[in-house]
Chain A
């Protein structure tokens, strides 16, 4: 009952937020939050550290951006296409990456993402270094014009909630239970008759598709798809968001995305911009050394001990 009230309260907050805060900033936070939730599905619940998740974010963005510019499709179709493209790429990468474990998995995903980065750098449809600029936001179902930032925000909120709900359902389904069993003890899961690699693969595909959904939406918000979203730096950022918020918690990546995006916005405004990477690196080091459960994990511990 109490958790329902909390959810209703948060939902009310999200609906009222654009009255106080700049809607594009909020939409950015939600896009990254969905990205981080998708990443966390893999790291937090299947125990797989992907170091190349930016590639799915970027792919979704490019496909959606290209379709919006060149095809005249409505935004919801372009977003679905971007999501499917990310899922397909995830199916290929996942098939290769689940052959290795732990640290090797991280290196394989990083290398595969770099491969695609170079392809996108040279490919004719990505606009190279310039990216795809001036992507039109279009009208949802041909009816609702997204040109207004406030309307755009509510559209993003709806997408975020749908994606978040899907991830939440995945984690709490029998499939999610098996994923967690694999994370805790892979050989035991194997001995129980589960095809471990198959489960990891499916988790990878879902995570990739949801990341692409985040990227597709982000492209509409900023009317831009660029190489920044495919760069390994972006893969590092999503790890940081998840780590700061709390690996393996449902709400953690949302909190982490809020913190990291706010930090970036604040720092890139002034002369502190140069320090952004230094500070991000320092936050990484501090989190790993003494704050491994993240903000939400820490909060949950505190609540358990005191209430």
Chain B
């Protein structure tokens, strides 16, 4: 029963699984971008570099300090987030009143620098990070073999995405955030420290990328250009979803991962380009994005 109507279910589900995993990372990264965009109105081009940084900090911590995966999962996002806070506070804040294109160029420059530094230190070849002991092995499902770590990625990413969505839509902190998006001056007049919220939000969005980096280290090879490769795809996803809604960013990320997985099975030649093609179609039909508000 492995094939039905000429479809090999083992291969199909295998590609779907890979698609879902890629989608988890797309969702985490585009969520971070959307949160930062919501409050700061800028796109962080260094989001990919921060993802790469997360993976590298986890790898180096493991190699030189014996830091295990679970500690890394907790500590690395905080380290990366703190770096983000420093970047926002000392580099982005001074140009906050200039055209937002300048902050895009600034973060692009930072991404080039960070990627250049890591290439200089570690070369451009990939390094591997071991799968944690507790998540080794896998489960045999009716149609496929599911490695535990891959299941873990999907579950945790969905959980993190959902709790972030819940925090922004349902809590007091989230209310401040959304108010800051609508009208920062008014929120400040109510005695809320808006610049602090802005800085922390940037740190959180970047921290999400660092978190994704740690999650990715055991499945993808850790290399200096892992960030720039995924970031351009995430940009296309952001254009497809529109950055109007947090939930939209998550759903589009996961959905595009699945689309990519399906393409890999049915027409592998187009798997590298399919997300960009979807973007073209969305631009033709609904330019503001699937979840975007018409500006």
Residue of A nearest to B120 (CB): A274
- Is A276 a contact of B236 with CB atoms below 8 Å? no
Contacts of B238 in A (CB 8 A): 107
Task: Knowing A107-B238, A281-B110 are in contact, say whether A275-B120 is a contact too (CB < 8 A).
Answer: yes
- Is A278 a contact of B98 with CB atoms below 8 Å? no
Q: Does A62 contact B (CB under 8 A)?
A: no
B57-65, B68-76, B165-173, B268-276 - the one binding chain A = B268-276
Q: Does A100 contact B (CB under 8 A)?
A: yes
Complex: how many Å from CA A152 to CA B115?
A: 37
Q: Which residues 274-300 of A sit at the B interface, judged by CB distance below 8 A?
A: 274-285, 287-289, 292
A28-36, A66-74, A108-116, A157-165 - the one binding chain B = A108-116
Q: Which residues 150-173 of B sit at the A interface, judged by CB distance below 8 A?
A: none
Contacts of A284 in B (CB 8 A): 105-106, 108-109, 112
Q: Does A17 contact B (CB under 8 A)?
A: no
Q: Does A266 contact B (CB under 8 A)?
A: no
Task: Knowing A102-B100, A110-B235 are in contact, say whether A285-B276 is a contact too (CB < 8 A).
Answer: no
Q: Does A155 contact B (CB under 8 A)?
A: no
Task: Knowing A99-B283, A236-B108, A281-B110 are in contact, say whether A115-B116 is a contact too (CB < 8 A).
Answer: no
Q: Contact string, B274-295, partner A, CB cutoff 8 A, digits 1/0?
A: 0011011001100100000000
8 Å CB contact of A277 from B119, B276, B287: B119
Residue of A nearest to B271 (CB): A118
Complex: how many Å from CA A99 to CA B283?
A: 7
Residue of B nearest to A107 (CB): B235
Q: Does B239 contact A (CB under 8 A)?
A: yes
Residue of A nearest to B106 (CB): A288
- Is A281 a contact of B283 with CB atoms below 8 Å? no
- What number of A-B contacts does a CB cutoff of 8 Å give? 117
Contacts of A288 in B (CB 8 A): 95, 102-103, 105-106, 109
Complex: how many Å from CA A232 to CA B116?
A: 15
Contacts of A281 in B (CB 8 A): 109-116
Complex: how many Å from CA A275 to CA B238?
A: 32
Q: Does A175 contact B (CB under 8 A)?
A: no
Q: Does B66 contact A (CB under 8 A)?
A: no
Q: How many A residues touch the partner, as a band?
A: 35 or more
Complex: how many Å from CA A292 to CA B98?
A: 10
- Is B280 a contact of A112 with CB atoms below 8 Å? yes
Complex: how many Å from CA A284 to CA B276?
A: 27
- Is B232 a contact of A114 with CB atoms below 8 Å? yes
Q: Does B250 contact A (CB under 8 A)?
A: no
- Is A276 a contact of B287 with CB atoms below 8 Å? no
Q: Which residues 83-135 of A sit at the B interface, judged by CB distance below 8 A?
A: 96, 99-100, 102-104, 106-108, 110-112, 114-115, 118-119, 121-122
- Is B104 a contact of A49 with CB atoms below 8 Å? yes
Q: Contact string, A245-282, partner B, CB cutoff 8 A, digits 1/0?
A: 00000000000000000000000000000111111111
Complex: how many Å from CA A271 to CA B71?
A: 38
Complex: how many Å from CA A280 to CA B114?
A: 11
- Is B276 a contact of A111 with CB atoms below 8 Å? yes
Q: Contact string, B231-270, partner A, CB cutoff 8 A, digits 1/0?
A: 0110110110000000000000000000000000000010
Residue of A nearest to B240 (CB): A111
- Is B91 a contact of A289 with CB atoms below 8 Å? yes
Contacts of B117 in A (CB 8 A): 278
8 Å CB contact of B235 from A111, A122, A280, A287: A111
Q: How many B residues touch the partner, as a band?
A: 35 or more
Contacts of B216 in A (CB 8 A): none
Q: Which residues 82-138 of B sit at the A interface, judged by CB distance below 8 A?
A: 91, 94-95, 98, 100-106, 108-117, 119-120
Contacts of A110 in B (CB 8 A): 232, 235
- Is A276 a contact of B94 with CB atoms below 8 Å? no
Complex: how many Å from CA A195 to CA B98?
A: 27
- Most chain A CB inside 10 Å of its own CB: which residue of B119, B120, B269: B120
Complex: how many Å from CA A110 to CA B100?
A: 17
8 Å CB contact of B104 from A103, A112, A114: A103
Q: Which residues 210-228 of A sit at the B interface, judged by CB distance below 8 A?
A: none
Q: Does A239 contact B (CB under 8 A)?
A: yes
- Is A289 a contact of B106 with CB atoms below 8 Å? yes
- Is B43 a contact of A103 with CB atoms below 8 Å? yes
Q: Does B42 contact A (CB under 8 A)?
A: yes
Complex: how many Å from CA A239 to CA B235?
A: 18
Contacts of B287 in A (CB 8 A): 99-100
Contacts of A111 in B (CB 8 A): 232, 235-236, 239, 276, 279
Q: Does B228 contact A (CB under 8 A)?
A: yes
Contacts of A287 in B (CB 8 A): 105, 109
Complex: how many Å from CA A49 to CA B91?
A: 21
8 Å CB contact of B112 from A49, A122, A274, A280: A280
Ranked nearest first, the 5 interchain pairs of A and B with the lowest CB-CB distance are A284-B109, A277-B116, A281-B113, A281-B112, A115-B276
- Not counting A99-B287, A103-B101, a sample of 5 additional A-B residue pairs whose C-beta atoms are within 8 angstroms of each other reads A108-B279, A277-B119, A281-B115, A285-B109, A287-B109
Q: A residues touching B (Cβ–Cβ < 8 Å)?
A: 49, 96, 99-100, 102-104, 106-108, 110-112, 114-115, 118-119, 121-122, 232, 236, 239, 243, 274-285, 287-289, 292
8 contacts between A and B (CB under 8 A): A115-B276, A115-B277, A118-B272, A236-B108, A277-B112, A281-B109, A281-B115, A289-B91
